[in-house]
Homo-oligomer: A and B are copies of this chain.
Amino acid sequence: MKPTEMAKEGAEMTEETEHMIEKNGAKETENVVSAGDAKEMRAVILSGFGGLNKLRVTKKAMPEPQEGEVKIRVKACGLNFLDLMVRQGNIDNPPKTPLVPGFECSGIVEAMGENTKGFEIGDRVMAFVNYNAWAEVVCTPLDYVYNMPDDMTFPEAAAFSMNFVAAYMMLFEVANLREGMSVLVHSAGGGVGQAVAQLCSTIPSVTVFGTASSFKHEAIKDSVTHLFDRNVDYVQEVKKISPEGVDIVLDCLCGENTGKGLGLLRPLGTYILYGSSNMVTGETKSFFSLAKSWWQVEKVNPIKLYEENKVIAGFSLLNLLFKQGRCGQVKTVVEKLFSLYNQKKIKPVVDSLWALEEVKEAMQRIHDRGNIGKLILDVEKSPTPLMASDSTETSEAGEEEEEHEGDNDNKERMPFIQ
């Protein structure tokens, strides 16, 4: 979006906002859930790129499966930092709005399109979706659907798909994690961070360095060998413990952390960029944050990599799945991961469950980095009753301000913490 368009959007915002907020989301829920052959379903809608006010729950036409597709009655959806960037339009080639966000869910197979083999109605499944996951029903090609292990709960499955597949592929297919190696992971308390820590523990003698907000340290200290506060100079801290650096750096921050991460690599070490959450500074995309992200990223001279014996990689699971057609490879990874789950070597950490109507509070929590593990939208959950002042309204005030979402003042529903 060009700066001029953004300014225009800002001017129109107040009027648009009032039009969009639906205060009776909870009432609609009951109507739809009770209707078995309903023509409509509930879904979270993003009406345009911007702040939390662009999200609401609404009715949509019931989707029906096309050839090769599976129709899933959704039980749980995963919420990722990337969804927050999508909301802001802070991604490459954003799709058109309105759209239903969400890339992963779990649920029960309700129907199949023509030529859709390998599933039966009633199967418990985990699935990737190219948007549209945050709804009561989704249809997605069978290549993106996997039968869940019997012991896995629906929230666990929704917490599993993106984070564990990404963590596994980065550690074992992009890098080559082996006995005795060391790994640095940022946001160690987040969904990917916890998946990385658990997968590292499946290999003997792997040292995990992690950064996380201090209040999470007690909760995650057993999963990470060395924990640092996210505000300290982690380069210094790592070097104090391991002067030679680490073998693998997983970076979801981008910006100046790329240079820092490369600098921390041991010879033959691998730096992997898998996100750019530092691009998010406020509730809406600012031109400043976008420009900063592109200019501050240090470009890498291959001759320097040659002299230093270093590897730099990028990893985007969504592009791999939906743009680059690597479903087959991902399926093999999912099978390996389910096997590790069945052996009780890994187990997704669920931070909290939220009703669809609570998606704004859930997003606020992930923005504030308040979560330990994964945030889940539980489609069958009723929203916690709102308190007197509607948090949705209060969150409009600082719309165009940087760092507005950095505090928790406007959280008035409490999540259901497992």
A304 an interface residue at 8 Å Cβ cutoff?
yes
User: Which residues on the B side are within 8 Å of A174 (C-beta)?
Assistant: 268, 311
A8 an interface residue at 8 Å Cβ cutoff?
no
CA distance A43 to B270 in the complex (A): 40
User: Which residues on the B side are within 8 Å of A173 (C-beta)?
Assistant: 176, 268
User: Which residues on the B side are within 8 Å of A280 (C-beta)?
Assistant: none
- A315 touching B309 by the CB < 8 A rule? yes
Please report which residues of chain A, range 149-174, place their CB below 8 angstroms from some CB of chain B when the two chains form the complex: 169, 173-174
CA distance A320 to B310 in the complex (A): 10
A203 an interface residue at 8 Å Cβ cutoff?
no
A82 to chain B, nearest CB (A): 12
If the complex has contacts A176-B173, A310-B314, A314-B307, are A302 and B273 also in contact, measured as CB distance less than 8 A?
yes
| Segment from A110-118, A122-130, A293-301, A336-344 that makes contact with B | A293-301
A305 an interface residue at 8 Å Cβ cutoff?
yes
A222 an interface residue at 8 Å Cβ cutoff?
no
Interface string of A234-271 (1 = CB under 8 A from B): 00000000000000000000100010000000011010
Please report which residues of chain A, range 98-148, place their CB below 8 angstroms from some CB of chain B when the two chains form the complex: none
A274 an interface residue at 8 Å Cβ cutoff?
yes
- A301 touching B309 by the CB < 8 A rule? no
Size range of the chain A interface in the assembly: 35 or more
- B303 touching A301 by the CB < 8 A rule? no
A292 an interface residue at 8 Å Cβ cutoff?
no
A68 to chain B, nearest CB (A): 21
If the complex has contacts A174-B268, A176-B176, are A302 and B324 also in contact, measured as CB distance less than 8 A?
no
Contact of A268 among B300, B312, B326 (CB under 8 A): B326
CA distance A307 to B303 in the complex (A): 22
Interface string of A322-336 (1 = CB under 8 A from B): 001010010000000
A4 to chain B, nearest CB (A): 24
Contact of A303 among B268, B270, B273, B306 (CB under 8 A): B273
Most buried by B among A267, A270, A275, A293: A267
If the complex has contacts A267-B320, A320-B267, A324-B267, are A313 and B303 also in contact, measured as CB distance less than 8 A?
no
- B300 touching A299 by the CB < 8 A rule? yes
A400 an interface residue at 8 Å Cβ cutoff?
no
A92 an interface residue at 8 Å Cβ cutoff?
yes
> Which A-B residue pairs are the 6 nearest by beta carbons?
A305-B314, A306-B314, A299-B299, A311-B313, A267-B324, A273-B302
25 sample A-B contacts, Cβ–Cβ < 8 Å, listed by A number: A173-B176, A173-B268, A254-B303, A267-B319, A268-B326, A274-B306, A276-B303, A276-B306, A293-B303, A297-B301, A298-B302, A299-B300, A299-B301, A300-B300, A302-B312, A303-B314, A304-B314, A305-B312, A305-B313, A306-B315, A307-B314, A308-B314, A308-B319, A310-B313, A311-B313
